[in-house]
Amino acid sequence: MRDYLALTKPRICVMVMITAAIGFVLAGGGSRFTLWAMTAGVGLASAACGCLNQVIEQEPDGLMRRTQKRPLPAGRVSSTDALGFGITLAVAGLGILSFVGELPFVITAFTVALYVMAYTPLKKVTPHTTWIGAVAGATSPMIGWAAARGHLDLGAWILFAIQFLWQIPHFLAMFWIHREDYARAGFKVMPVVDPRATAAQIALHSFTLLPAAVLPSLVGMTGVGYGVGALVLSTAYLGIGLRASWTMTTTDTRRLFLASLAYLPILFGLMLWAS
């Protein structure tokens, strides 16, 4: 059971479920049943993505030190069983969301298809898959918003923009730290293909994240307190990102990666507090 849980990438599942719930609450909420059903459906769909991703990447995972002990490359779960498990999770998640609403179902189905059929296989083809993956990773608050309101408006797109822009420095920092592993596995991530572009993208997206983070206060989604807090938090994050992009040392990129893990929960916590 522990191996099947590992196939779902549980930490990512938890983040996806929490951000979907935040989108639901910020959109005005609704019944508890809708909230729990939407969260469960999104969690199962995210688990399916993690599982199917590992099925497709079983061979390269075996070549990377950070992933070679995963259940599939280590031989603890067969690829056939993992594939069946992943498909079952996807069907269950989308089935639940079909009762939540048409738009949450459509967004989630699009996300699963984008992650499994585009982002995952194209990682060996082009370094620009980071943006495709960031799109798939930023839809969770939109799903929650759609479940609460039945449509998407400016607030949903702002949440999407924040989560999208946050992911670029986050993942580029991780790719940089493990760039030798990714090169060994044949992944054409940006740090492997173009280190200078990696530094530029970290700086650019750290900059653009700041105005996106402050925007909820400017459009009336949250109070002034959030805007001040978001400005301070994002300025600190920008400083860490700029330092990492300037030096591109493992120490500074690791500091950026760890800061990114703290940044999004704190920012969304402030948003909930001030909404």
Tell me the mean pLDDT per 10 residues along the chain, length 275: 95 96 94 96 98 96 92 95 97 97 98 96 92 96 97 96 97 95 93 94 96 95 94 97 96 97 96 89
pLDDT score for 232: 97
47 near 5, Cβ under 8 Å? no
CATH of 1-152 given 1.10.357.140, 3.40.190.10, 1.10.579.10, 2.60.40.4070: 1.10.357.140
CA 112 to chain centre: 12
Integer angstrom CA distances of residue 106 from 94, 96, 147, 175, 263:
9, 12, 11, 30, 29
The residues spanned by each domain of the chain are: 1-152, 154-275
Residue 144: Cβ within 10 Å count: 31
pLDDT at 275: 79
Q: Which of 161, 126, 109, 137 is nearest to 13 (CA)?
A: 137
Round to whole Å and give the CA distance between 167 and 171. 6
Question: Residue 214's pLDDT is what?
Answer: 97
Query: Is the entire prediction scored with pTM above 0.85?
Result: yes
Q: Is 4 left (phi over 0), alpha (psi -120 to 50) or beta?
A: alpha
Neighbouring residues of 80: CB distance < 8 A, sequence distance ≥ 6: none
